[in-house]
């Protein structure tokens, strides 16, 4: 039984080693959107556990986000430069993790205003990538 449970985990790991697909990224994005909703719900219900749960998922997921294989292998140098902007991605990732930690600390300390501010900084980071990379 235990072994059966391990197989999908190994399969996923191999998948990641092979690269990062568009489907992987869409799934990660949806996970992060849900995590952000959870954090907001935690704010509204004044529930630290829900906030922490959302932060956890967000932090675990943002570290996986990067350019997908077809973007990394793009022959068009300009497009590749835009889509595989590692410097920007790393910076955004760092900020999101920092602000996530802020949310946890501030909300735990009863400072909902500061927690909310950190939350909105994360939203800005999400949109920064969407605007610059996605041109949304």
Site residues (vs ligand HEC, CB under 6 A): 22, 25-26, 29-30, 32-33, 36, 65, 89, 92, 96, 122, 126, 129-130, 133-134
State the minimum distance, in angstroms, from the CB of residue 119 to ligand HEC. 10
State the minimum distance, in angstroms, from the CB of residue 64 to ligand HEC. 11
Q: Which of residues 89 and 98 has its CB atom nearest to ligand HEC in the complex?
A: 89
Q: Which of residues 33 and 109 has its CB atom nearest to ligand HEC in the complex?
A: 33
Angstrom distance (rounded) from CA 91 to CA 13: 25
State the minimum distance, in angstroms, from the CB of residue 129 to ligand HEC. 3
Q: Which of residues 5 and 93 has its CB atom nearest to ligand HEC in the complex?
A: 93
* Concatenated DSSP letters of 82-96: HHT-HHHHHHHHHHH
* CA distances, 60 to each of 7, 31, 46, 114, 134 (Å): 21, 10, 23, 22, 22
Q: Which of residues 60 and 130 has its CB atom nearest to ligand HEC in the complex?
A: 130
Contacts of residue 135, Cβ cutoff 8 Å, sequence gap at least 6? none
Q: Is 129 helix (H, G, I), strand (E, B) or coil?
A: helix
């Amino acid at each position: 039984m235990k072994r059966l449970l391990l197989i999908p985990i190994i399969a996923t790991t191999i998948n990641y080693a092979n690269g990062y697909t568009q489907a992987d990224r869409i799934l990660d994005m949806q996970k992060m959107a849900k995590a952000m909703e959870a954090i907001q719900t935690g704010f509204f219900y004044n529930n630290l556990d829900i906030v922490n749960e959302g932060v956890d998922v967000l932090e675990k997921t943002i570290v996986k986000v990067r350019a997908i294989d077809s973007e990394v292998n793009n022959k068009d140098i300009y497009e590749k430069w835009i889509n595989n902007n590692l410097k920007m991605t790393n910076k955004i990732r760092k900020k999101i993790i920092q602000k996530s930690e802020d949310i946890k600390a501030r909300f735990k300390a009863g400072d909902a205003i500061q927690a909310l501010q950190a939350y909105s900084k994360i939203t800005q980071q999400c949109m920064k990538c969407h605007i610059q990379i996605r041109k949304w």
